[in-house]
Structure 1
């Protein structure tokens, strides 16, 4: 009987250890080739080149917050490479609202302007910083974070690097107020009334 109990504990320990290893190595899966080629695609230098961000070089000043991505959807050659980027353009006074990336940390490099940035950890502690041109800031994987250009006139531009080809973005305002979560649930959660919740939802509804 004792031997069976020991064997069961040992078996559970193995399962638990395997789970920890899987958590520690979570991320994009490793591939068994140099790169992954979609069907019916010719592989040459063009396959490994993405030109979708060229337009930013000659574009005028941003009039709102805008994200230009080079991720798996836009750049198929990234498949299996565990890397992607995004260019963030901030008009004066614009913000990238609180959001999370469930599959990667984010390393932001500010190439022009100033930005107020921050994230909240799992103990609800807020970490903030005002970045100057040339500064970098890391947002840990899965944590709620934001960026805000508080300048009255000057725009800001940043490049974000990710350790995944498909980081996922969960917008906190849209997730809460632009989905089908019951108004009563939201009103109770935020200790307010249904009318206030409906007002917030109306402000975030897609424009026709």
Structure 2
């Protein structure tokens, strides 16, 4: 007859497995209505379902640094519960969207014009890369580290990204590692370098006054 301890251990394993499975399947929570309305909104008409934030991009001067303009739940509240969001990405010549992850969604990128070198790293540390031409689509799987680089030093590249979450989240690796206050010694040991190098990286990434 199995002991109480054995039964408890088995129960713990089953519970942990179930919890992990639920986390793996987690996404935006379902809603029980057609759409979600913030408490401070009383008049629902076509305007509530319209996002005009991208109008400012039409005819605007080209940016001098990488720029992303989002239409997520933060900017467009009707997206709450709809499991979708959008972004416009502008890459001046020679700029990058540095390595980052989206913890709550895959990203489907459509290159409108220009060229981009893109890549992501899977959980076996295998790097997948591609050079995209205008009209190409590329998918970055959910939660994996990825990047984009406009290798043309003279021309702007423009891309549109769709996400399967109203709030995909973005974790920038350079900022997360070097701008959040992680101890210099810990970072130096982790990257097998010295504190001086870590401090130089932190200085380079520090927000401009």
Q: Tell me if TM exceeds 0.5.
A: yes
The aligned runs of 1:81-92 (5 Å cut-off) are 81-92=82-93
Structure 1: gaps of 5 or more residues:
none
| Superposed counterparts of 1:20-59, under 5 Å | 21-41=21-41, 42-59=43-60
- Counterpart mapping for 1:82-161 below 5 A: 82-161=83-162
Q: Distance in 1 between matches of 2:190 and 2:21?
A: 36
Alpha-carbon distance between aligned partners in 1 of 2:199 and 2:6, rounded to the nearest angstrom = 58
Q: Tell me by how many angstroms 1:102 deviates.
A: 0.7
Give the whole-Å Cα distance in 2 for the aligned partners of 1:139 and 1:38: 31
Alignment pair present for 1:186 and 2:179: no
Distance 1:202 1:8 in 2: 51
C-alpha RMSD of the superposition: 2.0
Q: Deviations over 1:98-136 (max 9, x none)?
A: 001111111100001000000011111100000000001
Change (3 A) 1:6 1:196: closer
Q: Following TM superposition, by how much is the alpha carbon of 1:179 offset from its aligned partner in structure 2, in angstroms?
A: 1.4
Where has structure 1 moved over 3 Å in runs of 4 or more?
1-21
Count of residues in Structure 1 that have an aligned counterpart in Structure 2: 208
The alignment's TM-score, normalised by the length of structure 2, stands at 0.92
Give 1:25 deviation, angstroms: 2.6
- Matched residue, 1:79: 80
Give 1:63 shift.
1.5
Structure-2 separation of matches of 1:3 and 1:187: 48
